[in-house]
């Protein structure tokens, strides 16, 4: 049984939630999020709380129960305060700058790396700090991971892109005799 799915989700003031078929829309001060949910879970929206109940007692429905509760909590939290992730670019000659709706990187390759910014995200690049901000937690995390994958940090000198607060495990270099 899901401990997260059993709990009631409180709806804060200023957030409106509506359900049309299998699509749930959450509207807050920062924007609107919509997401489609399967009908395996019964989502009951009251005035100030949301309850989730499973319809069938099978393994798949039980696994969706807590997942859907987490999705709804993330949507409610995102329309109140946007999610933010930071990347730090380390290395000599590594640069990043935002031009319009894309980020331009100089990552030590023979060509510049250009990454388009998806709709709904705000990206700022100051020196070697890249900040990704948006109301959709899933979109912020997946975009940040895709950008980090362009130049992962290497274990010898730590050059590359890493999350803020991430610790790179260092290896010892070659020994001279």
* Average model confidence (pLDDT) across the chain: 92
In order of their start, the domains of the chain are 3-80 (3.90.930.12), 83-163 (3.90.930.12)
- Mean pLDDT score, 15-43: 92
Residue 1 confidence (pLDDT)? 59
Mean pLDDT of 140-165: 94
Average pLDDT over residues 46-61: 90
* pLDDT for res 151: 94
Q: How confident is the model at residue 57 (pLDDT cuts 50, 70, 90)?
A: confident
Q: How confident is the model at residue 71 (pLDDT cuts 50, 70, 90)?
A: very high
Span 90-104, average pLDDT = 94
Beta bridge partner(s), residue 99? 102
CA 112/CA 132 separation, integer angstroms: 20
**Residue 40 pLDDT > 90:** no
DSSP at 161 = E
Contact 108, 91 (CB under 8 A): yes
Cβ atoms 105, 148 nearer than 8 A: no
| Confidence at residue 112, expressed as pLDDT on a 0 to 100 scale | 95
For 86-103, the DSSP string reads EEEEESTT-EEEEETTEE
Residue 7 is classified by DSSP as S
Percent of the chain with pLDDT strictly greater than 90: 76
């Amino acid at each position: 049984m899901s401990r997260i799915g059993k709990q009631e989700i409180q709806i804060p003031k200023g957030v409106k939630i509506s359900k049309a078929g299998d699509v749930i829309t959450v509207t807050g001060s920062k924007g609107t999020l919509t997401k489609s949910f399967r009908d395996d879970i019964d989502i009951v929206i009251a005035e100030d709380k949301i309850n989730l109940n499973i319809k069938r007692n099978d393994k798949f429905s039980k696994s969706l129960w807590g997942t859907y509760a987490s999705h709804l909590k993330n949507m409610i939290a995102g329309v109140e305060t946007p999610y933010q992730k930071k990347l730090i670019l380390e290395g000599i000659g590594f640069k990043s700058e935002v031009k319009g709706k894309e980020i331009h990187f100089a990552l030590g390759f023979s060509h510049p790396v250009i990454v388009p910014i998806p709709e709904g995200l705000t990206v700022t690049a100051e020196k070697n700090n890249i900040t990704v901000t948006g109301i959709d937690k899933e979109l912020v995390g997946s975009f940040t991971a895709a950008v980090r994958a362009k130049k992962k940090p290497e274990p010898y000198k730590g050059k590359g892109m890493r999350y803020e607060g991430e610790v790179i495990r260092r290896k010892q270099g070659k020994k001279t005799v």
